Amino acid sequence: MLSKLAFPGNGAAHPLTGAVWAKYFSGQNEFTANKSSNYAAAFFAGAVSHFAYDVYGNFEPRAGTWELAYFSVEGIVGAYFLFPLWKKEPALFWGSVGAMVPDIEHTINIFDKRKFPTHNGMVPHGERENFCQGALENLVMNSFSYYLLTQDSKNIGRYQFGMNINIWNGHNIVDDGIHHTVYKTVSPVSAGIALRFHLRHNRFFEFYSTTWMKRAPDISGLDYPIRKMVQSYYLSYNRKLSTRGIEPFVGLGCGVFLWGDSNPVNKGDVSFVTYQKSEYRLVMSGGIDFDLNRNTTIVISYRFQSPSLGYTSARVSPVAEWTPGLAVLQNFF
Ligand SMILES: [Zn+2]
């Protein structure tokens, strides 16, 4: 599998998202601009974005296919859009470089084994099976990244971006004549990104993505076991019930949940997770917002994800989830 992976497999997504991470997460501002220490921070932010994107997953074209030609063209188009931004803000260039460097080991054997955590089997690398889904994902990610890169970061308060962690508690419906519902913790923690758009002072849309990894029992002869992964993406409409420092809220949303297993691999190989199953669910939430200061909000929430409303592919299981969660959101423009 190794030699068949190709360098431009992710099109323009790594350099674009790397520049976004450099812009918002490496301490760039008017005082630190054009300092070489900040280029190093931008480079590091770019490399972290590569890790996050690999876990998130994309379509992986194989060498010599027309799909690879498509993503190569996307990469060139991306560079065309990035060039003026790189010229204006060199930190963005270093973010893009940091985001591209990890994939060099797919093309050139620098070390005897691959080193990057999503390339050596340590952490599974997400993979979309369907080319159209992969191309669409890149189009959305790239356009949104370009939009963020061209925004003026002084216009604070309309958008918030941050990290969230959740505890998943699933329940199985056991049909033993009585219709039992058995609650159990299916995974300790999932982590992901959160994005909020403020509509008005007490109403907002939010987007959450979470990924959790669970190890299946070890398989003999393999260094890394199979991991089960779930990603959830949903859009929720939330309404704050008060607008003083501590703000309770309720919300309603819906989204898609993707399920996949990683390949069992030997050390040094890429552990891909292919998301084969997906389902639609309703999401109901309640919680409290704490405004730490003008720029930072802590969100403590409890979300109920309904059993599947329908399946986009294979049937999974009629399981609902209760997920207590904690998110830290930062105003970013
Ligand atoms: Zn990679």
Task: Find the 4 Cα to ligand 1 centroid distance in Å.
Answer: 14
Task: Find the 50 Cα to ligand 1 centroid distance in Å.
Answer: 6
Structural domain boundaries of the chain? 2-149, 159-331
Q: Of the segments 48-57, 89-98, 177-186, 290-299, which one has the largest average pLDDT value?
A: 89-98
Task: Find the 168 Cα to ligand 1 centroid distance in Å.
Answer: 28
**CA 193 centroid distance within chain:** 6
Whether the predicted pLDDT of 180 surpasses 60: no
Element (H, E) at 110: none
Can you name the residues that pair with 304 across neighbouring β-strands?
284, 322
Whether the predicted pLDDT of 1 surpasses 60: no
pLDDT (tens digit per residue) in 205-227 = 888 877 777 666 666 666 666 77
pLDDT (tens digit per residue) in 62-95 = 888 899 999 999 999 999 999 999 999 999 999 9
Task: Find the 134 Cα to ligand 1 centroid distance in Å.
Answer: 15
User: Average pLDDT of 304-321?
Assistant: 68
- pTM for this entry: 0.70
Torsion angle, CA of 19/24/27/33, rounded to 10 degrees? 60
C-alpha closest to that of 104 among 115, 91, 92: 115
Count how many Cα atoms sit within 13 Å of the Cα of residue 37 in the half-sphere of its side chain. Answer: 4
**Structural contact between residues 94 and 43, judged by C-beta atoms closer than 8 angstroms:** yes
Task: Find the 103 Cα to ligand 1 centroid distance in Å.
Answer: 5
**Structural contact between residues 68 and 62, judged by C-beta atoms closer than 8 angstroms:** yes
Residue 184's CB: how many other CB atoms inside 10 A? 9
Can you name the residues that pair with 183 across neighbouring β-strands?
171
Can you name the residues that pair with 182 across neighbouring β-strands?
172
Distance CA 304, CA 285 (A): 6
Q: Of the segments 11-15, 184-188, 312-316, 325-329, which one has the largest average pLDDT value?
A: 11-15
Task: Find the 331 Cα to ligand 1 centroid distance in Å.
Answer: 29
C-alpha closest to that of 134 among 235, 19, 274: 274
Distance CA 303, CA 267 (A): 37
- Domain 159-331 grouped into CATH 3.40.1160.10: no
What is the predicted pLDDT for the residue at 4? 44
User: Average pLDDT of 244-267?
Assistant: 82
Task: Find the 104 Cα to ligand 1 centroid distance in Å.
Answer: 9
Which protein residues have a CB closer than 5 Å to ligand 1 (ion)? 54, 103
Strand bridging mode 272-291 / 125-128: parallel
pLDDT level of residue 50 (50, 70, 90 thresholds)? very high
3-state DSSP of 150-216: CCCCCCCCCEEEEEEEEEEEEEEEECCCCCEEEEEEEEEEEEEEEEEEEEECCEEEEEEEEEEEEEC
